[in-house]
A and B are shown apart, each in its own frame.
Chain A
Amino acid sequence: MKKTINANVSGTVFTFEEDAYEQLQAYLASVRAQLESNAGRDEIMADVESRVAELITERLAGKRQVVASTDVDQVIVVMGRPEDYGDGSGSSASSSSSQSSGQRGYKRLFRIQRTNGWAASSAVLRPTSAWTRCGCVFRRSCLPARQRNAHPTIHPALDPGAQGGIGCRPPAHGRRASYRGQSKRAFEEGGKRVADDVNDMNRRWNKEAKRRGNEASNVLVKVIGFGIVLLGFSMLLGLVSSVAGGAFGLWQATWGTDEMSAMDLAALVFPSREHAWWMLLGCLLIVLIPIVGILLGGFRLLLDTITPKWLSWSLALLWFCALVPTIIGGLALAREYQRDGESTESVALETPSDNVLTSMLSKRRRAKANGA
């Protein structure tokens, strides 16, 4: 059982646990103290209390009636610690808070310096000026997405206070600052962090480019694999068509003849039927095995399948086994044709004795003798 306290926060009455009430009261008091030098402190405090009330209402969400310490803790996490309300005026409190808030990654903001004439314009153009810092944070925080998207982050060079207060001071007034000067100063103050960010970005881009390159190469490999598979299937289809067409043609050519079969026709070319069989088998394997290899390679590229080594070696061995007898048979066939081409046959011509030519010749000889 805990003691509760009713409190009015920006026009809304809440019931606090006692420790939560004290915690919130201390927080608001600290914020008020932090804004002591700010002319618009009352208005800011009213805005802060309104937001606190809104956050507490959201936390309770109509399910609970009492605000606990955890609720106040959560509100403080959202709103930020009292030192986060600092105006960057360079007080000791701000300096110490700068370091602690730097550890939390908070960005400190800086007061807009009211200046006149050319000093004001130089401050506006100065990237480390309070104008620029406030404007950048303001732009990121308050403007429509259309505006924020142009420069989605506040660069550390423009907000050096974020990392421990380097260059936290607003620019000196009455001193003209050129753009060249402001760039130099920005590099001096935030150069290392800028370089780190750029390098980090560069690394990320390189990584991304490498990743995309790998993706592109993978796609290219798949396309090549698909092409190889397509080529292999085409060759296989061509081989099957040739074999089937040849067999069908031979079968048709010898259909209905009992005296001659397809192998008899083959025997006309080859010295024997066995020779024809071996040559046919050898040629078939010599063409078929590379096609199988092409298909396996294509599938490997396309589907990342791994061909077992024993299969690769077996196919290679079978191919050589088919190649050797085919070459030997082919050479033997060539020698056979060469020998046939050189064969000569001597035939003795016999003179016919009783034909039309000889009878005519005899008649002419007889007539010539009678005439003489």
Chain B
Amino acid sequence: MRVSIVVEGTLYPLLSRLKDAGFLTYRWEESRSGPPRKYYQLTATGEAFLTELDQTWDELAQAVKKTTRKNR
């Protein structure tokens, strides 16, 4: 089975873009193990976008399922 690995470094540009796009907001919190931490949170726009992604995923998953069944 293939295991997907997302290293932490890939997240920072992504978080920055999503924040710029208005999907995320963040707050600072003090950390005991180092510098203060940023905690990201979904905005209402982000929630709506997530819902849209869910729907798209479901539709695609259905399409893939139907196609692979036909080809089997």
By a beta-carbon cutoff of 8 Å, the part of chain A in contact with chain B is 10-12, 31, 35, 38-40, 43-44, 47-48, 50-51, 53-54, 57-58, 77-82, 84-85, 87, 104-109, 111-112, 124-125, 127, 131-132, 134-143, 147, 150-151, 153-159, 162, 179, 182-183, 186-187, 191, 194-195, 197-198, 200, 204
Contact = CB atoms under 8 A, between A and B. Distances in A.
Interface in B43-66: 49-50, 52-54, 56-57, 59-61, 63-65
B29 interface: no
Nearest to B63: A183
Contacts of A47: 12, 15-16, 38
Contacts of B9: 31, 48, 79-82, 84-85
Contacts, number: 159
B27 interface: no
A21 B36 CA distance: 23
Contacts of A58: 33-34
Contacts of A124: 49, 52
Given A40-B20, A125-B56, A132-B53, A12 B35 contact: yes
B22 to A, nearest CB: 11
Given A57-B33, A80-B8, A109-B10, 13 more contacts: A38-B16, A44-B13, A54-B35, A85-B13, A112-B17, A112-B21, A137-B6, A137-B14, A142-B24, A155-B61, A158-B60, A200-B1, A204-B1
A50 B6 contact: no
A143 B10 CA distance: 15
A159 B12 CA distance: 18
Contact of A12 (B7, B34, B56, B68): B34
- A-side binding surface: helix, strand, loop or mixed? helix
A43 B38 CA distance: 12
Contacts of B53: 132, 135-136, 139
22 contacts: A38-B13, A40-B17, A44-B16, A47-B15, A47-B16, A53-B35, A54-B31, A79-B7, A79-B9, A84-B10, A85-B13, A127-B56, A127-B60, A136-B57, A151-B54, A151-B57, A151-B61, A155-B60, A155-B64, A156-B2, A194-B64, A194-B68
A198 B54 CA distance: 20
